[in-house]
RNA sequence: GCCGCCGUAGCUCAGGGGUAGAGCGCGCCAUUGGUAAUGGCGAGGUCGGAAGUUCGAUUCUUCCCGGCGGCACCA
């Protein structure tokens, strides 16, 4: 006797073991048809799975959230089947689900081209139409390895060899296609439906290691019905419109150019935005007890050797070679011959700083520091250069020249927790001011290769963890991803199309103070090592502004908008009054422009709306007579008639932004 | 750095072995118009760069540069 409890609490009894399919049929023919899989005591299983003991069981249909996982994974299998049919010389490797879809990696001598995607997709629809039964088989491991090796599927064989000995080796068969898979799967390919689309083609290294061969990856998206698919595709299109690279051009904020790859040319409007954010940050740091410093761009190799960067970070550094015996002080790229410098050359290497920390330690080391002075929170809007791999460059998000809102907190070990908590609170408050209520915090703990004793790591990790809990922040664990010198927190924001970017960071460092011999005088009169906390909130201005542009889709709140107000006239008769309005705005410290062109008001509204100017003050003869303005907000249809004085006061208050009153 | 795709006017894109075209934008003229497209005229391109094939290359081939999407990288 097997008793099945359904989600609604009702119970069904069977004489013996029963499959999910039988259970569904027992409940009703409609459900039997719609059933895709079962959840038995919390675990998702095939519809054909035999339930032998009393269990809580839910029948999964396409309406369940779980169904998407099944559909997407089946979609990957159907794609692999299609690929094997069309291109038999292809080897299949792995094909997991990802957010919104799936991918499958294939090994093939000739790479796929975009046209192939259409053919594969068409074949996938055929396979769905064939409605092939999907069956699960458990194989003997060595039989499975032999089977795949004989079939020329060396990657699959390698995967099976890696499966732990106590695990079952299960294969799923649909038509002539058979694949190693943990499952579960749909009962047949027909259940997949039509709501899928292959989206992109990419190279990907076998097992994610760049030393391995590159495979061909095909990405796809898959949904429960066509409506969901259409919605998703539409969302992608909309997201593209808020791409910061596109808005940067459309809104005349910045540009990139071959002559300085990976560096930003900031235009007046973009630079206004940048400065607004920077001035805001400066104020918040000041209030937060930071002192601001500025340190050199070009720093002698010796310091980088001492700090360890020359050894660990050399590949990412821009290095200039200088012959100091020459009067001109010319610099040359490393390796380039210096003309006429065979003799007497006194060559020196200088590097553009990729980080600010070693320089900050130099400031810390000037004179002596008492324990009474700690913590010292030393901030710098530090310009850094890193030679990033060409394939990594991405608009403002990944550049070779950037400015961090960097700071190093020199403190005692006892102060780590409190400083961390204070930092997280400051960060959350700042993110909130920029409109980011949600962000992901990752905790990266000790990596395999690390400096410092386990005891020190225990304490550092505990301090970070305790501080995070105290700050009420939820963590995602990122095991083994800490820096070699200490654990770190990463604060991650998301761009318009769902790509994650690390912005804020907070790292505990016991190593650099040691390497650069930083010390303070303790209560006992003896020298002690300070701990360094490396921390940034925005991360880099470039990346953060990229995220900010996408977050607001260019429609900035008043305090951030590069151009806040346009005063637009209806007729020339209002020109003089418009100039008065303009003056009132400027006196209120607002960034305003006057538009007295001989154009229709429709034309002006449309143009400034496209430019995403938050406020348009329309003035015509009526307003001039009454001493008012007609205020129109970005995106709104209605207008508000206000006395000029009141409009100026209200806009001034609003434009003060989050720093208002401070 | 690796794989694939792409590079034609300021922008979006069409075209194609005989030195190029649209829309928007831009300029000029007319229009003084009450809240998201007024009308007319006009300017603007070494078709990413370098070689090669050809009588002739923007078009075909090769290499280089850059961009895009991934992968790898990301103190």
* A249 CA vs B8 C1’ separation (Å): 20
Predicted local confidence at residue A96, as pLDDT: 94
Q: Which of A181, A222, A357, A384 is catalytic?
A: A357
Would you call the peptide bond into A184 cis, given omega within 30 degrees of 0 as the criterion?
yes
Domains of chain A from N-terminus onward: 2-61 (3.10.20.30), 66-240 (3.30.980.10), 271-321+347-552 (3.30.930.10), 565-656 (3.40.50.800)
Q: Is the dihedral of CA A458, A463, A469, A474 positive or negative?
A: negative
Strand B at less than 7 A from CB of A571: yes
Strand B at less than 7 A from CB of A603: yes
- For residue range A227-249, list pLDDT tens digits in order: 999 999 999 988 889 999 999 99
Average pLDDT, chain A: 92
Largest separation between any pair of C-alpha atoms in chain A: 98
Q: Is the dihedral of CA A114, A119, A124, A125 positive or negative?
A: positive
Predicted local confidence at residue A328, as pLDDT: 54
Distance, in Å, from the CA atom of A142 to the CA atom of A629, rounded to the nearest integer, reads: 83
- DSSP-derived letter for residue A447 is -
- Above 90 in pLDDT, residue A531? yes
- Above 70 in pLDDT, residue A377? yes
- Above 70 in pLDDT, residue A411? yes
3-state secondary structure of A31: helix
Nucleotide nearest to A202 (CA to C1'): B70
End-to-end CA distance of chain A: 73
Tell me which residue of A157, A144, A176 sits closest to A91, measured CA to CA. A157
- Above 90 in pLDDT, residue A441? yes
Name the residue closest to B70, CA to C1': A202
Strand B at less than 7 A from CB of A241: no
- How far does CA A288 lie from the centroid of its chain? 27
- Above 80 in pLDDT, residue A119? yes
- How far does CA A296 lie from the centroid of its chain? 30
| Number of neighbouring beta carbons within 10 Å of residue A653 | 13
Q: Which of A39, A45, A156, A386 is catalytic?
A: A386
Distance, in Å, from the CA atom of A299 to the CA atom of A45, rounded to the nearest integer, reads: 61
A204 Ramachandran zone, left/alpha/beta (phi>0; psi -120 to 50): beta
Strand B at less than 7 A from CB of A636: no
Instruction: Give strand B nucleotides closer than 7 A to any protein Cβ.
Output: 1-5, 11, 30-38, 65-75
Which of the four pLDDT bands, split at 50, 70 and 90, describes residue A344?
low
Nucleotide nearest to A219 (CA to C1'): B70
Assess contact for A192 and A71: CB atoms under 8 A. yes
3-state secondary structure of A67: helix
* A275 CA vs B32 C1’ separation (Å): 39
Angle between helix axes A268-287 and A416-433 (nearest 10 degrees) is: 140
Q: Which of A45, A77, A185, A408 is catalytic?
A: A408
Distance, in Å, from the CA atom of A566 to the CA atom of A608, rounded to the nearest integer, reads: 8
- For residue range A176-233, list pLDDT tens digits in order: 999 999 889 999 999 999 999 999 999 999 999 999 999 999 999 999 999 999 999 9
CB < 7 A to strand B: residues 282-311, chain A: 307-309
Predicted local confidence at residue A415, as pLDDT: 94
Strand B at less than 7 A from CB of A210: yes
Predicted local confidence at residue A341, as pLDDT: 46
Nucleotide nearest to A609 (CA to C1'): B36
Predicted local confidence at residue A332, as pLDDT: 52
Strand partners, A136: A172
Nucleotide nearest to A574 (CA to C1'): B32
Distance, in Å, from the CA atom of A463 to the CA atom of A457, rounded to the nearest integer, reads: 10
Strand B at less than 7 A from CB of A621: yes
- Above 60 in pLDDT, residue A340? no
Predicted local confidence at residue A488, as pLDDT: 93
Strand B at less than 7 A from CB of A245: yes
- For residue range A559-618, list pLDDT tens digits in order: 999 999 999 999 999 999 999 999 999 999 999 999 999 999 999 999 999 999 999 999
Provide mean pLDDT across the span A7-26.
88
Distance, in Å, from the CA atom of A507 to the CA atom of A419, rounded to the nearest integer, reads: 11
3-state secondary structure of A253: coil
Strand B at less than 7 A from CB of A392: yes
Provide mean pLDDT across the span A366-384.
96
A17, burial (CB in 10 Å: exposed 0-12, middle 13-18, buried 19+) = exposed
Q: How far is CA A12 from CA A16, A39, A60, A506, in A?
A: 12, 16, 17, 55
Predicted local confidence at residue A345, as pLDDT: 63
A323 among known catalytic residues: no
Three-class DSSP labels, A256-322 = CCHHHCCCCEECHHHHHHHHHHHHHHHHHHHHCCCEECCCCCEEEHHHHHHHCHHHHCHHHCCEEEE
Read out DSSP for A179-230? EE------SBGGGG-S-EEEEEEEEEEGGG-TTSPEEEEEEEEE-SSHHHHH
Which of the four pLDDT bands, split at 50, 70 and 90, describes residue A331?
low
Predicted local confidence at residue A165, as pLDDT: 85
A131 among known catalytic residues: no
A404 among known catalytic residues: yes
- For residue range A485-528, list pLDDT tens digits in order: 889 999 999 887 788 899 999 999 988 999 999 999 999 999 99
Paired sense of beta strands A488-494 and A500-509, if any: antiparallel
Q: Which of A353, A534, A535, A604 is catalytic?
A: A534
Predicted local confidence at residue A69, as pLDDT: 92
A357 among known catalytic residues: yes
- Above 60 in pLDDT, residue A382? yes
Strand B at less than 7 A from CB of A388: yes
* A296 CA vs B56 C1’ separation (Å): 58
- For residue range A262-310, list pLDDT tens digits in order: 999 999 999 999 999 999 999 999 999 999 999 999 999 999 999 999 9
Strand B at less than 7 A from CB of A201: yes
- Above 60 in pLDDT, residue A661? yes
* A259 CA vs B19 C1’ separation (Å): 29
Paired sense of beta strands A488-494 and A615-619, if any: unpaired
Can you read off the two tokens belonging to residue A310? 């020359």
Which of the four pLDDT bands, split at 50, 70 and 90, describes residue A343?
very low
E strand or H helix at A648: helix A644-655
The answer to pTM > 0.80 is yes
Can you read off the two tokens belonging to residue A574? 């209002």
Distance, in Å, from the CA atom of A19 to the CA atom of A137, rounded to the nearest integer, reads: 16
Read out DSSP for A83-146? HHHH-TTPEE----EETTEEEEEEE-SSPP-HHHHHHHHHHHHHHHHHT-BEEEEEE-HHHHHH
Provide mean pLDDT across the span A622-641.
94
| Number of neighbouring beta carbons within 10 Å of residue A377 | 21
Three-class DSSP labels, A574-643 = HHHHHHHHHHHHHHCCCCEEEECCCCCHHHHHHHHHHCCCCEEEEECHHHHHHCEEEEEECCCCCEEEEE
- For residue range A51-91, list pLDDT tens digits in order: 888 989 999 998 888 899 999 999 999 999 999 999 999 99
- How far does CA A648 lie from the centroid of its chain? 39
A406 among known catalytic residues: yes
- Above 80 in pLDDT, residue A325? no
Assess contact for A232 and A197: CB atoms under 8 A. no
């Amino acid at each position: 006797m097997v008793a099945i409890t359904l989600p609604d609490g009702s119970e069904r009894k069977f004489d013996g073991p029963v499959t999910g399919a039988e259970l569904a049929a027992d409940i009703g023919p409609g459900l039997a048809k719609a059933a895709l899989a079962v959840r038995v005591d919390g675990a998702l299983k095939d519809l054909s799975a035999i339930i032998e003991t009393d269990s809580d069981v839910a029948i999964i249909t396409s309406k369940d959230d779980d169904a998407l996982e099944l559909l997407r994974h089946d979609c990957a299998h159907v794609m692999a089947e299609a690929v094997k049919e069309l291109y038999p010389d292809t080897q299949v490797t792995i094909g997991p689900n990802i957010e919104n879809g799936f991918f499958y990696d294939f090994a093939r001598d000739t790479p796929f081209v975009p046209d192939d995607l259409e053919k594969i997709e068409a074949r996938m629809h055929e396979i769905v139409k064939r409605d092939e039964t999907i069956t699960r088989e458990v194989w003997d491991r060595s039989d499975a390895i032999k089977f795949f090796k004989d079939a020329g599927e060396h990657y699959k064989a390698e995967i099976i060899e890696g499966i732990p000995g106590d695990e079952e080796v299960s294969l799923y068969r649909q038509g002539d296609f058979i694949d190693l898979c943990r499952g579960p799967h749909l009962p047949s390919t027909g259940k997949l439906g039509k709501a899928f689309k292959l989206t992109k083609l990419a190279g990907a290294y076998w097992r994610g290691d760049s030393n391995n061969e590159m495979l061909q990856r095909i990405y796809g998206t898959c949904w429960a019905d066509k409506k969901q698919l259409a919605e998703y595709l539409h969302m992608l299109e909309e997201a593209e419109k808020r791409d910061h690279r596109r808005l940067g051009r459309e809104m005349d904020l910045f540009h990139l150019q071959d002559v300085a790859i990976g560096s930003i040319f900031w235009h007046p409007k973009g630079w206004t935005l940048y400065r607004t954010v920077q001035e805001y940050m400066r104020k918040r740091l000041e209030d937060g007890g930071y002192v601001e410093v500025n340190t050199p761009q070009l720093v002698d190799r010796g310091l980088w050797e001492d700090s360890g960067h020359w050894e660990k970070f050399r590949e990412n550094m821009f290095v200039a070679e200088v012959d100091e015996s020459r009067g001109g002080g010319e610099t040359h790229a490393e390796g380039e011959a210096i003309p006429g410098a065979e003799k007497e050359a006194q060559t020196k290497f200088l590097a553009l700083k990729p980080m600010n920390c070693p320089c900050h330690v130099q400031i810390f080391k000037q004179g002596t520091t008492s324990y009474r002075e700690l913590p010292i929170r030393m901030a710098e809007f530090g310009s850094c250069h890193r030679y990033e791999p060409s394939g990594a460059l991405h608009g403002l998000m990944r550049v070779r020249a950037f400015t961090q809102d960097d700071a190093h907190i020199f403190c005692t070990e006892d102060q780590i927790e409190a400083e961390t908590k204070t930092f997280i609170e400051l960060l959350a408050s700042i993110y909130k001011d920029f409109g980011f209520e949600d962000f992901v915090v990752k905790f990266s703990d000790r990596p395999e290769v690390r400096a410092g004793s386990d005891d020190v790591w225990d304490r550092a990790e505990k301090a970070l963890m305790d501080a995070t809990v105290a700050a009420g922040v939820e963590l995602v664990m990122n095991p083994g991803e800490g820096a070699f010198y200490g654990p770190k927190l990463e604060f991650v924001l998301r761009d318009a199309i769902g790509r994650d970017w690390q912005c804020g960071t907070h790292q505990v460092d016991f190593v650099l103070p040691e390497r650069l011999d930083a010390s303070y005088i303790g209560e006992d009169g003896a020298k002690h090592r300070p701990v360094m906390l490396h921390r940034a909130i925005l991360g880099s201005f470039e990346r953060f502004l990229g995220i900010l542009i996408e977050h607001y889709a260019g429609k900035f709140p008043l305090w951030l908008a590069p151009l806040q107000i346009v005063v637009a006239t209806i007729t020339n008769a209002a020109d003089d009054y418009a100039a008065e309005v303009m003056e009132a705005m400027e006196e209120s410290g607002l960034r305003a422009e006057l538009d007295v062109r001989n154009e229709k008001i429709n034309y002006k509204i449309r143009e400034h709306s496209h430019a995403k100017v938050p406020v348009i003050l329309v003035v015509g003869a009526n307003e001039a007579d009454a001493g008012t303005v007609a205020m129109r907000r970005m995106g709104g249809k209605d207008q508000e008639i206000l006395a000029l004085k009141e409009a100026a006061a209200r806009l001034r208050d609003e434009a003060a932004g989050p720093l208002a009153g401070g």
